[in-house]
């Protein structure tokens, strides 16, 4: 089962291109800092503005750099079922350990449409699938009932829950059982999510504070609630600052302060404003990262 601090990786750019060298160095640094799993080409990795060739290449680079040291969960979602199947097939061929598949955005499928979408992907590719449920970006919200129905498929093994509904992980646990992997998509509420039956977090903050994030989860796993609380509280200003503007602009600026990436993002996103940069820098200083 996936657990602990998994990081939704940024994709560094150099001019108009993916900075392949910086990305692989970033993956290696993440693992050495204690990150428990890697998620290339999710939304934080700017998958909407990567070409298919770039998307494939980033997954290839991540698998290569990880070298089997930690699981790689490749982002392969799309609002086209055929496209999601194609991306998931590539992830399997590349050697990814699982796929993170976002609910179809813009189309607004019904619950039956969601079920058929994920079933088609799971039937087509023999790779563990994590459902990514994020109503705030995709408009649709997969119900617990639909998720329980999908969980009967052997290839559908968990959820990245970005609903910010803290009753949801408990309801999901009761409906599906404790072996269904539940990963939060919200850094700021991780304590409550774990307390409600969750297993870990797919983190944005982990891009720039990987050691602190991994140590926090390890404290939870060994039952050291005092240490967990200290780290949870310490990280909170950073969780807030990294979403002061649309992600990943703030976290890429934060990564640039550490020399891990340029701060460049692709249109229609724009770089963090001066006001956002001040907020991010202050949080990085407060947490002790710079």
The per-residue pLDDT for range 107-160, each reduced to its tens digit, is 999 999 999 999 999 999 999 999 999 999 999 999 999 999 999 999 999 999
> Would you say residue 113 lies in a domain?
yes
Assess contact for 256 and 248: CB atoms under 8 A.
no
- Give the alpha-carbon dihedral of 54, 7, 187, 19, to 10 degrees: -40
pLDDT tens track for 153-169: 999 999 999 999 999 99
Please tell me the predicted confidence (pLDDT) of residue 56: 98
Which of 115, 118, 132, 253 is flagged as catalytic? 132
> Would you say residue 173 lies in a domain?
yes
Which of 3, 118, 160, 253 is flagged as catalytic? 160
Q: Is residue 179 annotated as a catalytic residue, yes or no?
A: no
Domains in the chain, number: 1
Please tell me the predicted confidence (pLDDT) of residue 1: 82
> Would you say residue 284 lies in a domain?
no
Q: Is residue 253 annotated as a catalytic residue, yes or no?
A: no
> Would you say residue 162 lies in a domain?
yes
pLDDT tens track for 188-232: 999 999 999 999 999 999 999 999 999 999 999 999 999 999 999
Structure tokens at 273: 């404003």
* Predicted TM-score (pTM) of this structure: 0.97
> Would you say residue 244 lies in a domain?
no
pLDDT tens track for 243-275: 999 999 999 999 999 999 999 999 999 999 999
> Would you say residue 268 lies in a domain?
no
> Would you say residue 197 lies in a domain?
yes
Average pLDDT, the chain: 98
Domain of 77, CATH number, reads 3.20.20.70
- Quote the domain boundaries for residue 145: 4-233
Question: Is residue 94 pLDDT above 90, yes or no?
Answer: yes
Helix/strand/coil for 105: coil
> Would you say residue 117 lies in a domain?
yes
- Residue 17 pLDDT grade (very low, low, confident, very high; cuts 50, 70, 90): very high
The whole-number average pLDDT for the span 10-34 is 97
The whole-number average pLDDT for the span 84-111 is 98
Structure tokens at 173: 């646990």
Please tell me the predicted confidence (pLDDT) of residue 22: 98
Spatial separation of the C-alpha atoms in residues 99 and 74, rounded to whole Å: 5
Residue ranges of E strands in 162-239? 181-184, 200-203
């Amino acid at each position: 089962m996936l657990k602990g601090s998994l990081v939704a990786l940024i994709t560094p750019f150099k001019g108009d291109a993916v900075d392949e060298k910086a990305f692989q160095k970033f993956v290696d640094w993440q693992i050495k800092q204690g990150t428990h799993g890697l998620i290339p080409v999710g939304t934080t990795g700017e998958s909407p503005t990567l070409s298919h060739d770039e998307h494939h290449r980033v997954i290839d680079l991540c698998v290569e750099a990880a070298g089997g040291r930690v699981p790689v969960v490749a982002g392969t979602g799309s609002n086209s079922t055929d496209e999601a199947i194609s991306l998931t097939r590539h992830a399997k061929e590349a050697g990814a350990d699982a796929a993170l598949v976002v609910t179809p955005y813009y189309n607004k499928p019904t619950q039956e449409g969601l079920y058929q979408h994920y079933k088609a992907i799971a039937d087509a590719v023999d790779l563990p699938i994590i459902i990514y449920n994020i109503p705030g970006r995709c408009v649709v919200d997969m119900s617990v009932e639909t998720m329980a129905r999908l969980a009967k498929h052997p290839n559908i093994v968990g959820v990245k829950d970005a609903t910010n509904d803290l009753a949801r992980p408990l309801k999901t646990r009761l409906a599906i059982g404790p072996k269904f992997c539940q990963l939060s998509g919200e850094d700021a509420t991780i304590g409550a999510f774990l307390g409600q039956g969750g297993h870990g977090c797919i983190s944005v903050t982990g891009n720039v504070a990987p050691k602190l994030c991994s140590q926090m989860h390890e404290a939870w796993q060994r039952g050291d609630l005092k240490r967990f609380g200290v780290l949870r509280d310490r990280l909170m200003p950073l969780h807030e600052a990294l979403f002061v503007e649309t992600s990943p602009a703030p976290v890429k600026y934060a990564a640039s302060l550490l020399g891990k990436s340029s701060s460049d993002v692709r249109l229609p996103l724009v770089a963090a404003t001066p006001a956002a940069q001040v907020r991010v820098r202050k949080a990085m200083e407060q947490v002790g990262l710079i």
